[in-house]
Amino acid sequence: MSTHLVILPGDGIGPEIVGATLTVLRHVDARFSLDLNYETHEIGLATLHRDGTTLPPVVLEAVQRSDGVILGPVSHLDYPPAEQGGVNPSGILRTHFDLYANIRPARSREGMTILRHPMDLVIVRENTEGFYADRNMAVGTGEFMPTPDMALAVRKVTTEACRRIARTAFELARTRRRHVTAVHKQNVLRISDALFLREVRAVAADYRDVTLDDALVDAMTAHLVRDPSRYDVIVTTNMFGDILSDEASELAGSLGLGAALNAGDNRAVAQAQHGSAPDIAGQDRANPTALLLSAAMLLRWLGGRRSGAFVAAADAIEAAVETSLATPAERTPDLGGPLGTRAFAAVVAGRIAAVR
């Protein structure tokens, strides 16, 4: 059965790292007979100038027909207001297709981290509500200004969203070290984070084989630096998860290592944690590792719905990337290495092709 992927290159370094990812995907496709096919659409600044919107309706239609998506970074800070066509494609995809789980692994590697203790954890971030103003209102945004001197923001936390992100975290923990930590700020957000914790604890009752504890978000930022080895799966709300996962990836060595998968019940989007880095766009300097590992996460997700060949392909990408990261002469400039974007992808692809 053919697997149809929609490719959205995005802005800045997006086309470069997406191109590198496609190079590797073509090699794993040939190696594991995945029968992948691709449909590419422009989004972001390219379509804003051409079509008057950063996310044309044809893209949503294509994603609806797809089995998965590879999404490059977007420069949404440079977009005009939404009413002028500058919607955030990433946020719209998450809400429109109910991609409620943002899954972000972080693992330290020898010689690439400042940490004294090893880190191997996954942050499971609620993806559709919280403090994010573009995804918590039916009409308008969650930010408004009653007067020119006053700005207000609304945070949305619902029982349903808390339950399903908690269940995602506990299911993932069962495949790892069976430990979930709920991160919150209940001492200040006494209603909304109390609701989050209540639902996480209720879900925990169905997972007696998994240990649950919790931590305040400010304390967690310190614990990740001091001793991240004590954590396995961290579950938290939208904004806290965004901040903590960036911290964890940087502690691991670089945001260029930060893989992520936006997953719902029926669809998933591979998307690197980092931004579009327009200052190095077009220079063949971008590190494609994060998107390569995100694509591997997408293949693994598909493997749970299709065949073990997708899981084997994901394993092959991850193994090839790890071998290159362990070899200083094969790293990209952000990690102190000499290889450009295309050369790094070629090395990874070559390792996959050589596997017998």
Q: What is the 3-state secondary structure (H, E, C) of 282-333?
A: CCCCCCCHHHHHHHHHHHHHHHCCCCHHHHHHHHHHHHHHHHHHCCHHHCCH
- For residue 81, the surrounding DSSP H or E stretch is none
Task: Label residue 38 left, alpha or beta by phi (over 0 means left) and psi (-120 to 50 means alpha).
Answer: beta
**In the annotation, is 207 catalytic?**
no
Which of 35, 206, 213, 218 is catalytic? The answer is 218
Report the b/e string of 122-157 with b at 16+ CB within 10 A.
Answer: bbbbbbbbbbbbbbbeeeeebeeeeeeeeeeeebbb
Supply 151's token pair: 């700005």
DSSP 8-class letter at 246? H
Is 242 a catalytic site residue?
Answer: yes
* Residue of 185, 193, 207, 231 with catalytic role: 185
Q: Say how far apart CA 315 and CA 149 lie, in whole Å.
A: 53
Phi-psi region of 6 (alpha: psi -120 to 50; beta: other; left: phi over 0): beta
Torsion of CA 81, 84, 86, 87, to 10 degrees: 90
Q: Which of 99, 71, 70, 75 minimizes the C-alpha distance to 87?
A: 75
DSSP of 126-169:
E-SSBT-GGGS-SSS-SEEEEETTEEEE--B--HHHHHHHHHHH
Residue 124's nearest CA partner among 261, 228, 254 is 261
Q: Out of 132, 193, 207, 232, pick the active-site residue.
A: 132
Q: Any catalytic annotation for residue 132?
A: yes
Active-site residue 185, yes or no?
A: yes
Instruction: Considering the candidates 67, 214, 232, 242, report the single residue annotated as catalytic.
Output: 242
Which residues are designated catalytic?
132, 185, 218, 242, 246
